[in-house]
């Protein structure tokens, strides 16, 4: 049996869910340490980020691939470009690989929100008014 791609939902209460789009039934649930603020699906993985946390899950099953503590907080921006995972907030940017290892960090000393862009893809800054 081939499973249809789930709708990924992040919700207050520290959870990410995979919801069956045809029936609305929960296929999987994953508990985080913090309330998630970003979710992104790339290839066969779900990336979920919150204050000081980055998790990577299998898309169809919700099985954890990795969960790491980060130095990026609050209001995290998340982008995946190939093998690299980028997190940013409050003037800080970090790059992670596909096993959850921090490759590099950069403190831009701006204390502002972060947006990302590479050719053909962008994640914009969330502006709070």
Q: How many residues does the chain have?
A: 129
In whole angstroms, what is the distance from residue 55 CA to residue 48 CA? Answer: 5
pLDDT for res 129: 41
pLDDT, tens only, 36-51: 788 999 989 999 999 9
Domains, the chain, ordered by start = 7-121 (2.40.128.630)
pLDDT, tens only, 71-113: 998 889 999 999 999 999 989 999 999 999 999 999 998 878 8
Output b/e per residue, 31-58; b: 16+ Cβ within 10 A: ebebebbbbebeeeebbbbbbbbbbbbe
């Amino acid at each position: 049996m081939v499973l249809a791609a789930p709708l990924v939902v992040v919700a207050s209460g520290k959870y990410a869910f995979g919801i069956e789009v045809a029936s609305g039934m929960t296929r999987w649930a994953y508990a985080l340490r913090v309330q998630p603020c970003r979710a992104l699906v790339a290839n066969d993985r779900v990336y979920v980020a919150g204050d000081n946390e980055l998790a990577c899950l299998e898309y169809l099953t919700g099985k954890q691939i990795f969960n790491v503590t980060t130095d990026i907080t609050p209001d995290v921006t998340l982008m995946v470009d190939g093998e690299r995972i980028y997190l940013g907030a409050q003037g800080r940017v970090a790059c992670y690989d596909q096993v959850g290892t921090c490759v590099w960090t950069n403190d831009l000393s701006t204390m502002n929100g972060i947006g990302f862009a590479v050719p053909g893809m962008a994640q914009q800054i969330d502006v709070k008014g």
